[in-house]
Amino acid sequence: MSDALIRTEEDIIQGFLEPLARGFAGAFGLRDDCAVLAPEPGQELVLKTDAIAEGVHFFANDAAADIAWKALAVNISDLAAKGARPLAYLLALAFPQPPQKAWLAQFADGLRIAQDQFGCQLIGGDTDRRPGPMAINITAIGSVPIGQMVRRGMAKPGDQLFVTGTLGDAALGLALRRDASVAKRWQLTAEQVAHAQSRYLRPVPRLALTPALRAYASAAMDLSDGLVKDCGRMCAASGVGARIRASDLPVSAAVSRVVSAEAMWLEKVLAGGDDYELLIAVPPIKVRAFLAATQGLDVPTTAIGEVTAGQALLVEGPNGEPVSLPRTGYDHF
Amino acid sequence: MSDALIRTEEDIIQGFLEPLARGFAGAFGLRDDCAVLAPEPGQELVLKTDAIAEGVHFFANDAAADIAWKALAVNISDLAAKGARPLAYLLALAFPQPPQKAWLAQFADGLRIAQDQFGCQLIGGDTDRRPGPMAINITAIGSVPIGQMVRRGMAKPGDQLFVTGTLGDAALGLALRRDASVAKRWQLTAEQVAHAQSRYLRPVPRLALTPALRAYASAAMDLSDGLVKDCGRMCAASGVGARIRASDLPVSAAVSRVVSAEAMWLEKVLAGGDDYELLIAVPPIKVRAFLAATQGLDVPTTAIGEVTAGQALLVEGPNGEPVSLPRTGYDHF
């Protein structure tokens, strides 16, 4: 076996992952069977598990550091939507073949950059070899003041709906990843191409919103399967409907360019998936304070509609006409 | 698509898994993005993530209820080794094809039986469809009094070594699963066959030992990759060696029969893997109290050797002669 290959689980854990656990007492240097964690007084823990797999959520030849970033970011995005502060994560890796040491070094480097930015540390994990696609399963753990987790199911009729950032960029990044020639067809600038690629490869959990969410949101969730599908989930969990103004949906210059070229791309804005922006419901009486709290953040927050009584999810065009909805966003089944 | 098949993630979660979360407030009926959990006052949380995959840890045509049991049991076994009481778990499922509803119903039933026995509940999860083997990743969460988690790396020279239950049964169960005819060759009774099969399919986490572990163990871990390999890990983490008496290793009537027929089967007792028994180091001064505390439990605890200074792991035959060790136990790489 080549020296560039891994021989044992210990090679992976102690050789590459242990540095990610340093300084976290309850991780025991990844040398024990379990990790130990306790919330600060007055806090409780918020937990989420999500996996990404080669061929489904990323391409085999994506950069290892990008794969690592995305695996952690999609979990931390859920914590961000709940108003939770990231603390730690567990990592379960499945490889069809022993990974190259150079690949693992880059993967660990991507995790390090991501965990430093998100403010959490690796505390435990598991590595397996099995056939099939490489898969990375992360369980992320954050904390919120007791009782203050922002729920998905507490939106009320009259609440205003906001989204962070811009929608459809990751769908464009994926389209470019599949066929780079569309950049020319849609006359995208190099900067616009880079923006969309980065949004697809390195989604940024919207942790900057945490104080505003805790203080003013009645409900929130992150957008992973497309706005229409995920907003439908918030509505179903809350027993409400929603009206969304298509012309108010925030899009980047790149996506704006593509929608101008191909009007059907509006569907990607509504249902493209992988946005990892936040959908936030704010009671009318708190909207002003919410907007004040989000002003000046690096990420914009845009009003896109409101929560309604009933169960219908309506998307309105510029003149109030209904926009026919894409049937669903992404579903694995 | 047939009515027996699953159409959406919600079908799986709300149709089959939600009942497993009922009564646990922080699970929010599996309708939110995250779960919330806090330890009781004076307790901290113990966390472990481990996956099982078709073709590696189980066979595709194993009963769904057995697969579910094993997925949870292998994680709870780690909590048991740490002296932790199980509280909750997160479940990430990966299916290459939409599962049959009948299969899912049996899978959920197996989880229900297991979680009832282990005293924990499902609080969150994720379902994906991806090529490759079906895989079940569980993150288990337990609690211990603050600072009382039983560590892997605290064994000291002079400590007595104990194991729970019997060793090699799961290896025999796997051998029978691969080739049922060996039962006849080794003249196993139907009862012995059933015992080995059950031990392979439904390992029982040794939670009964929790009070004795917390009170008297200096170190402990569960045996998943074979006694020799896992004892070597405890020694490495503790900076010690160990001497194990081969003739004292506890074996069932079934395994005893097989070792009589084929002496090389002693290697499976030493390195077979999948035992899910506990290896426990107890300081000499506490041995008497430890034995008293484990007396009368359903599972026997057997002294098998002692911790030594240095780094060597020795296995001694009946006359004190060294037994040549299998090079390693199970490693995925």
Cβ distance B222 to A127 less than 8 Å, yes or no, reads: no
Kindly list the domain boundaries of chain B, sorted by start residue: 9-145, 160-316
Q: For the structural domain made of A9-145, what CATH number should be given?
A: 3.30.1330.10
Classify B36 as helix, strand or coil.
strand
Q: Look at residue A329 in the predicted model and tell me its pLDDT.
A: 61
Contacts of A194 (CB under 8 A, 6+ apart): none
pLDDT band at A3 (very low <50, low <70, confident <90, very high): low
Residue of A nearest to B126 (CA): A50
For chains A and B, CB pairs below 8 A equal: 216
Cβ contacts of B318-321, under 8 Å, gap ≥ 24:
B318/B246, B318/B247
Which among A45, A50, A98 has the least Cβ separation from residue B38?
A: A45
pLDDT band at A93 (very low <50, low <70, confident <90, very high): very high
Q: Look at residue A1 in the predicted model and tell me its pLDDT.
A: 40
Mean pLDDT score, B113-128: 96
Q: Give yes or no for residue B122 having a pLDDT over 50.
A: yes
Cβ distance B133 to A131 less than 8 Å, yes or no, reads: yes
Residue of A nearest to B152 (CA): A32
Q: Look at residue A328 in the predicted model and tell me its pLDDT.
A: 57
Average pLDDT, chain A: 94
Distance between CA atoms of residues B222 and B162, nearest Å: 12
Q: Give yes or no for residue B258 having a pLDDT over 90.
A: yes
Cβ distance A130 to B48 less than 8 Å, yes or no, reads: no
Using the Cβ of A224 and the Cβ atoms of chain B, whether some distance falls under 8 Å is answered with no
pLDDT band at B1 (very low <50, low <70, confident <90, very high): very low
**Model confidence over A211-252: pLDDT tens digits?**
999 999 999 999 999 999 999 999 999 999 999 999 999 999
**Model confidence over B199-251: pLDDT tens digits?**
999 999 999 999 999 999 999 999 999 999 999 999 999 999 999 999 999 99
Q: Look at residue A330 in the predicted model and tell me its pLDDT.
A: 63
pLDDT band at A165 (very low <50, low <70, confident <90, very high): very high
Q: Give yes or no for residue B332 having a pLDDT over 50.
A: yes
Using the Cβ of A17 and the Cβ atoms of chain B, whether some distance falls under 8 Å is answered with no
For chain B, percent of residues with pLDDT exceeding 90: 87
Cβ distance A44 to B38 less than 8 Å, yes or no, reads: yes
Q: Tell which B residues from 88 to 107 touch A, by Cβ distance under 8 Å.
A: 90-92, 94-96, 98
Q: Look at residue A275 in the predicted model and tell me its pLDDT.
A: 97
Using the Cβ of B47 and the Cβ atoms of chain A, whether some distance falls under 8 Å is answered with yes
Q: Give yes or no for residue B94 having a pLDDT over 80.
A: yes
Q: Give yes or no for residue A125 having a pLDDT over 50.
A: yes
Cβ distance B129 to A237 less than 8 Å, yes or no, reads: no
Using the Cβ of A36 and the Cβ atoms of chain B, whether some distance falls under 8 Å is answered with yes
Mean pLDDT score, B7-22: 91
Using the Cβ of A229 and the Cβ atoms of chain B, whether some distance falls under 8 Å is answered with no
Are residues A293 and A212 in contact, defined by beta-carbon separation less than 8 angstroms? yes
Using the Cβ of B7 and the Cβ atoms of chain A, whether some distance falls under 8 Å is answered with yes
For chain B, percent of residues with pLDDT exceeding 70: 97
Top residue of A16, A24, A28, A33 to mutate, by most chain B CBs within 10 Å, is: A33
Using the Cβ of A33 and the Cβ atoms of chain B, whether some distance falls under 8 Å is answered with yes
- Taking CB atoms and an 8 Å cutoff, what residues of chain B touch A28? 151-153
Q: Look at residue B329 in the predicted model and tell me its pLDDT.
A: 61
Cβ distance B333 to A7 less than 8 Å, yes or no, reads: yes
Q: Look at residue B318 in the predicted model and tell me its pLDDT.
A: 77
Q: Tell which A residues from 53 to 82 touch B, by Cβ distance under 8 Å.
A: 53, 55-56, 78-79, 81-82
- Taking CB atoms and an 8 Å cutoff, what residues of chain B touch A151? 28, 32
Q: Look at residue A10 in the predicted model and tell me its pLDDT.
A: 85
Which among B37, B39, B221 has the least Cβ separation from residue A33?
A: B221
Average pLDDT, chain B: 94
Are residues A183 and A193 in contact, defined by beta-carbon separation less than 8 angstroms? yes
Q: Look at residue B328 in the predicted model and tell me its pLDDT.
A: 57
- The correct CATH number of B160-316 out of 3.40.50.1820, 2.60.120.280, 3.40.50.300, 3.90.650.10 is 3.90.650.10
ipTM higher than the 0.90 cut = yes
String of DSSP letters for A67-82: HHHHHHHHHHHHHHHT
